[in-house]
Amino acid sequence: MAIFDYALFYDFHTLATNPDVGKNFDVEAFTDQVKSCGVDFLTFHARCNQGNAYYNTSIGTRHPSLTYDLIGKLCDSCKRKGIRLSLYFNGHLSEEETLAHPEWSDVPMDPAAREKNKRSPFYHQVCYNRFGGHLRDMAVELAKNYEFDGFFFDCLGASDCVCPQCVTEMKEKGIDWNDPAAVRAFSHFSSDRMCRMLAQEIRKVKKDALLFFNGRPFEEVSDLESHLECECLPTAGWGYDTLPACAHYLRTVAGKERSVLNMTGRFNNWGDFGGLRTAEALEFDMFYGKANGMVPDIGGHYHPRGDLDLPVFDRIREVYSTLQKYDKWSLHAENEVDVALVYPRYERFYYPASYQKSVPAAARMLDELKVQFDMVSDFVPWDKYSLLIIPDDAVFTPSMAEKLEKHIRKGGAVIASGISGMVKGEKDFRIEGWPVKYKGKIPYDPLYFAPAGRFAENLPEMFLSVYASGAQVVPEEGAETEMFCVKTYVNGEWDGIRGNYYLPPEGPTKDPFLVKKGNIVYLAGEIFTGYANRAPREFRTLLTNILKELHPAPLLKTEGLPSFARAFVQKKDRCRMVHLLAYCPEKRCNAIIAEDRICVPESKIFLKTDGAQIRKVYLAPEEKTLPFEIRDGYCQVTVPRFDGYALIVFES
């Protein structure tokens, strides 16, 4: 288990043809810059995804133009300066090693698809089962010969290798090696097996070695890892909706004894040597992570020559020094929550939040509504949450169904939609007390609904689009149908003659859209997927109305904060903190960027006291006192105008 304060991650992927690797590398100047940023944990490449090593090795191949032991110098310097060092190995990519040893290469099921990746590092991939022994030997050699703290193993997702060794083992296990899904599942098994072998052999040499296996599902190798790392560069394919779901999820996997590193990049894309994101953009990433219990971790790509690139360090130091002003309160603080977003880790998902539209959309909606929530799977208990939100397509395991039934029996509230709550392999909801029975997929395309009843406050009196599909259900005994599905005259499809593109709603059906039973509200429409597709504000209004009834006394309430602002509650010692963030990423040409801190005018926050005696409230870091009032179980505070970020401290 490992706890860090601030981290840096330096790529050092270098082509074998590069003529001057390490020529200008001044290790003392480099580590001085690292130290000046307040960093206590550094990751640097010992062997890159090109297959080149940067240290003296009798097993691998040192880069042909490197004339000295670069990693040896780095290990020595980091040790003297109190910087913990993790060394990078790529576990699935290697250009030079597979050229020298073709027998280590994987054999893809679709070679033509691989050919399209020739300009990518992902063209030369290894087979876990044929390469794993070599990787182990390199790691053990490094661990025996150098003083450093641990390893970062990268690119450990599944492949589709059908080399003779893999096919032979699949046949022995009765696996259909012609089935792509079965081959991929076997590859997951092979990657897991290799990770466990690496952990076992490394810890024979370094008992307390730091370890992280990037690309493996977090829960699957949690027992092997000293800490977790969230690789999320929003400008390079992840987008700005990945970090929120992952941040709320990873802290539940990590627990209190392990850090979760929030790894973004100073650049705009991996492999980008000339990109320098704005301080505001990096602040947004880092403040969001800090407010959700994550450790700042900015990545860079070091020039093969070893050029220091001082403007990069200047930018990192600028951002980290801004964050460090708040360390007294936010460093290692714990988030307070009262709601859980529930989603299963389907088989082998690496980032569960990034594979289904419903999850990042649900996380975004809850962030926009300032709801304090964790994201949970079956990995942790659900007992502390008063409300569970289960979005659209969360098909449960039997153990998750048992947890949900326990939550309902003790009076907990639930918001569910679509097929969420159904157990995998079954054709109906089997949850005791569930408000509906399942008939099948909704037959209307597109799907509309008719706002009505007590959950329709502030919704327009018109049929509203769902922008997604849903489930056809019938209410159970004792359930109340508040809203109904609306169908179109015909479905949107080619009927052999016409395209049927313009599809106005015809009118309400007898199919329920919103059903309530006890403390459960069920929505037949996939509103979270619909929000992912079109972001209609009406869905947020509908969710607000449901929350008012099922969750009337939330941990935090706000007035005057715009929807793009974020608010998070943490606690540390005798202080509780409310982080307020106001940055607004926008699409510019083909890029999505955050460039400006947004000025937020005077607003109000209401923090639930839970009986605690609030002694004073102030604005950090200057500790400017703010007037407050205790009323109806909440501490009410007016927040003065702020730009981009504010931290309000409630001291008991």
pTM equals 0.96
Please calculate the CA angle 79-305-61 and round it to the nearest 5 degrees. 75
Whether residue 329 is contained in a domain is answered as no
Report residue 355's pLDDT band, with 50, 70 and 90 as the boundaries: low
Mean pLDDT on 532-553: 98
Whether residue 246 is contained in a domain is answered as yes
Whether residue 366 is contained in a domain is answered as yes
DSSP state of 640: P
Give 575's contacts (C-beta < 8 A, 6+ positions apart). 329, 649, 650, 651, 652
| Model confidence at 629: pLDDT above 60 | yes
Residue of 543, 648, 573 lying closest to 606 (CA atoms): 648
Residues pairing with 375 in the sheet: 341
Whole-number Å distance between alpha carbons of 431 and 421 = 7
CA-CA distances (angstroms) from residue 643 to 291, 583, 633, 649?
Answer: 16, 9, 29, 17
Taking only the tens place, the pLDDT of each residue in 300-342 is 999 999 999 999 999 999 999 999 999 999 999 999 999 999 9
Per-residue 3-state assignment (H helix, E strand, C coil) for 434-480: CCEEEEEECCCCCCEEECCHHHCCCCCCCCEECCCCEEEEEECCCCE
Across all residues in the chain, what is the average pLDDT? Answer: 95
Indicate the SS3 state at residue 401. helix
Residue of 225, 163, 160 lying closest to 198 (CA atoms): 225
Report residue 353's pLDDT band, with 50, 70 and 90 as the boundaries: very low
Which tokens is 303 given? Answer: 């020039």
Q: For the domain that residue 268 is a member of, what is the CATH number?
A: 3.20.20.80
Residues 30, 113, single domain; the answer is yes
Which tokens is 545 given? Answer: 């109305």
Residue 517: the pLDDT is 98
Q: For the domain that residue 471 is a member of, what is the CATH number?
A: 3.40.50.880
Mean pLDDT on 86-105: 96
Which tokens is 501 given? Answer: 């593109």
Which tokens is 581 given? Answer: 């963030």
Mean pLDDT on 83-110: 96
DSSP H or E stretch at residue 353: none
Query: Domain boundary residue among 524, 550, 576?
Result: 550
Residue of 234, 89, 67 lying closest to 150 (CA atoms): 89
Whether residue 330 is contained in a domain is answered as no
Ramachandran angles phi, psi of 316, nearest 5°: -65, -45
Residue of 76, 64, 105, 89 lying closest to 12 (CA atoms): 89
Instruction: Provide the 10 A C-beta neighbour count for residue 257.
Output: 10
Residues pairing with 299 in the sheet: 9, 265
Residues 502, 527, single domain; the answer is yes
530: Cα within 13 Å, side-chain hemisphere: 27
Q: Find the range with the poorest average confidence among 174-178, 254-258, 343-347, 523-527.
A: 343-347
Whole-number Å distance between alpha carbons of 148 and 127 = 28
Residues 578, 478, single domain; the answer is no
Residues 17, 120, single domain; the answer is yes
Q: For the domain that residue 601 is a member of, what is the CATH number?
A: 2.60.40.1180
Residues 210, 62, single domain; the answer is yes
DSSP state of 238: I
Residues 442, 456, single domain; the answer is yes
Whole-number Å distance between alpha carbons of 10 and 39 = 13
Taking only the tens place, the pLDDT of each residue in 565-621 is 999 999 999 999 999 999 999 999 998 889 999 999 999 999 999 888 999 999 999
Whether residue 515 is contained in a domain is answered as yes
Query: Domain boundary residue among 275, 300, 324?
Result: 324
Whole-number Å distance between alpha carbons of 12 and 14 = 6
Whole-number Å distance between alpha carbons of 232 and 288 = 12
| Model confidence at 354: pLDDT above 60 | no
Domain with 571 in it: 556-651
Residue of 249, 264, 271 lying closest to 320 (CA atoms): 264
Residues 287, 344, single domain; the answer is no
563: Cα within 13 Å, side-chain hemisphere: 9
Report residue 351's pLDDT band, with 50, 70 and 90 as the boundaries: low
Residues 151, 93, single domain; the answer is yes
> Given the structure tokens 């307040």, which residue do they identify?
38
Residues 42, 83, single domain; the answer is yes
Indicate the SS3 state at residue 408. helix
Whether residue 195 is contained in a domain is answered as yes
Query: Domain boundary residue among 324, 350, 385?
Result: 324
Which tokens is 629 given? Answer: 């009032």
Mean pLDDT on 145-153: 98
Whole-number Å distance between alpha carbons of 500 and 648 = 54
Residues 533, 591, single domain; the answer is no
Whether residue 331 is contained in a domain is answered as no
Taking only the tens place, the pLDDT of each residue in 214-260 is 999 999 899 999 999 999 999 998 899 999 999 999 999 999 999 99
Plot region of 98 (φ>0 → left; ψ -120 to 50 → alpha; else → beta): alpha
b/e 615-644 (16+ beta carbons within 10 angstroms → b): eebbbbeeeeeeebeeeeebbbbebeebeb
| Model confidence at 348: pLDDT above 60 | no
Instruction: Provide the 10 A C-beta neighbour count for residue 137.
Output: 15
Residues 402, 543, single domain; the answer is yes
Percent of the chain whose pLDDT exceeds 90 = 92
Residues 282, 341, single domain; the answer is no
Whether residue 608 is contained in a domain is answered as yes
Mean pLDDT on 272-277: 94
| Model confidence at 469: pLDDT above 70 | yes
Residue 350: the pLDDT is 57
Residues in the chain: 652
Residue of 483, 418, 435, 475 lying closest to 457 (CA atoms): 483
Work out how many domains the chain is built from and give that number.
Answer: 3
